[in-house]
Each structure stands twice: as C-alpha cells, then as structure tokens.
Amino acid sequence: MICQICPRKCNALRDENGNTGGRCKAGILPRVARAGLHFFEEPFISGKNGSGTVFFSGCSLSCVYCQNELVSQKSYGKDISVARLAEIFRELTESGAHNINLVTPTHFSYAIKEALDIYRPPIPVIYNTGGYELESVIRSLENYIDVYLFDLKYLNRESAYKYSGAADYPEYAVSAIREAYRQKGECVFENGMIKTGVVIRHLLLPAATNEAIDIFDFVHKNTPGAYFSIMSQYIPLGKAKTMPPINRKVTEREYDKVLDHIIDSGFNNCFFQEKSSADTCFIPNFDLSGV
C-alpha cells in the first residue's frame, strides 16, 4: 500500500517486507509489542480488572521525550495477522478486561477495523492516540470505536515542531478531536467505568504551564462533555536529557499553577495525576507478552 493514513501523508510503500520512506516505519501487517491487562490508566479505564491494552509499534510522531521510544521509534514488536489481532481482542475480553485499549493505533487503523469485523468485543473499544490524526480517519472509525482517548500535546506550532517534528500538529489534533466529539459527545459511564465518550490528556512539560492552561481552556470551551486528564509523569528520557528546559522534571510550583487554574474554572470532569507518577517503574515492559 502507498500510505497517506496520518497527516504526514508521506506516500510510504508499506508491504510484507516493511516500510520504505515512512516516518512510522510500519509495514502492512500490524506490529505489536505487548498485549495484556494494564492498570496505570485513569480509574474509569483501568478499574479493578485492568484495561486490555494492545501496544502497537511505530508512531507518526517523533517526540524527543517519548517514554516508549523502544516501541514508538525503534519499532520493537512482532508482526501479526489481522486474524491474530482479533484473537488478541477475544483473549483480553475473556481475561476480564474492562475494555480493549488500542495504543498508538493510527498507522494500523485499517487492520484494526478488519479485526473488529472478525470479532467485536462486548466491552468498549478505546482508540488511544497521540492526537496527530486526520479527521477523515477518525470519521471512518465512527462505527468501530466507543471511546476516544486523545493526547493533546500542543496548541503551539513552535513547541510541536521542536519536540515532535510536527509544526502542523495543533490544527490536525484540534480537527480530529472535534470530529471525535461530534461522534461521542458527553461521556457515559456504567458502574464507574467509561462506556463511550472522549477523554483528552495533556502531559505537562517543564516550563510549559501557559500552554497547558491554553489546552485546558480549549477543552473546557469546545468539548465540555469530555474528560480532561492532566499528567505530571514527565521524565526526561532519550534526547530530552540534553534539551533544556525539558531536561528536568516538572516542579511542584509548575504543576500547582495548572491545577489551580483548572480548579478555579469550576470544570469538574478532570483527573489530576499524582507527582509520584514521574517514575520509570510505570513504563510498561515491552516483552511481546500476549502477542
């Protein structure tokens, strides 16, 4: 296939032999690094049993601070068939997972739809994306996805280019989120677990409190029925270790500034992450388990 699935539209040749010329490095077959129960998502996603998480390899972004660099940028994982992907969905469902959580799914969205045509789980399907999406791809998922879990990393083009190599990230992410919200609207819960809706996450970066506040204000104004999750788990890894000001953790003062703004807004659909989450022990072990 000649790929134009993400905003880069790099026309990469993707086939059984791999990827020629594409940012995500993905071939035609879904590549998965881990599949299993995951307990470190928001409480209404992980619950008591865990979220049935499938970590796909490759990514259309190149975030200098990525905590999953082995998978996202070095393509660690195993190629599997669409039929095997459907089997994984079934196995996770039978293990008691509250949902099927598709992490970094964009470049395999076509295979995910084919797998869901083979086996549609009786539990919610979550599209867990970094946010760099084409609106048309999100529109094509309307009858497949129950919950959209979006990162909204930047609204500033300069930051998006500097840290993720994608100056156009803000406009694509905003457009995709608007489409997801059109589909799902207000979040719906059952027994404390999310069944349908949109959840928007933002990872607070050092020296970026104003952008975080702008992002929250966008969510509050444009997607009032969505949930907003502000994350404090940033750790300088990879290239970020040598890139001031992101070569340090977020300070208490920075995090409190953003939290105070959110609290003062009166917006209640929020999750605040504890500062203790800024620890490498929360990074999944990518060992091909469940694949």
User: Which of 121, 103, 95, 98 shows the shortest CA–CA distance to 67?
Assistant: 103
- CA gap 15, 55 in Å, rounded: 20
Residue tagged 């300088």 (tokens): 236
**For the whole prediction, is pTM greater than 0.85?**
yes
- What is the pLDDT averaged over residues 93-107? 98
Q: Quick check: 77 pLDDT over 80?
A: yes
- 5-36 pLDDT per residue, tens: 999 999 999 998 888 888 899 999 999 999 99
Q: Which amino acid is present at 258? A: V
- Number of Cβ within 10 Å of residue 245's Cβ equals 10
- What is the pLDDT averaged over residues 106-124? 98
- CA gap 111, 89 in Å, rounded: 13
Instruction: Give the chain's domains with CATH numbers.
Output: 34-282 (3.20.20.70)
- CA gap 67, 213 in Å, rounded: 23
- CA gap 57, 62 in Å, rounded: 13
In the chain, the percentage of residues whose pLDDT exceeds 70 is 100
pLDDT of residue 191: 96
- Number of Cβ within 10 Å of residue 9's Cβ equals 10
Both tokens assigned to 3: 């790929």
Instruction: Point out the least confidently predicted range of 70-79, 85-94, 170-179.
Output: 70-79
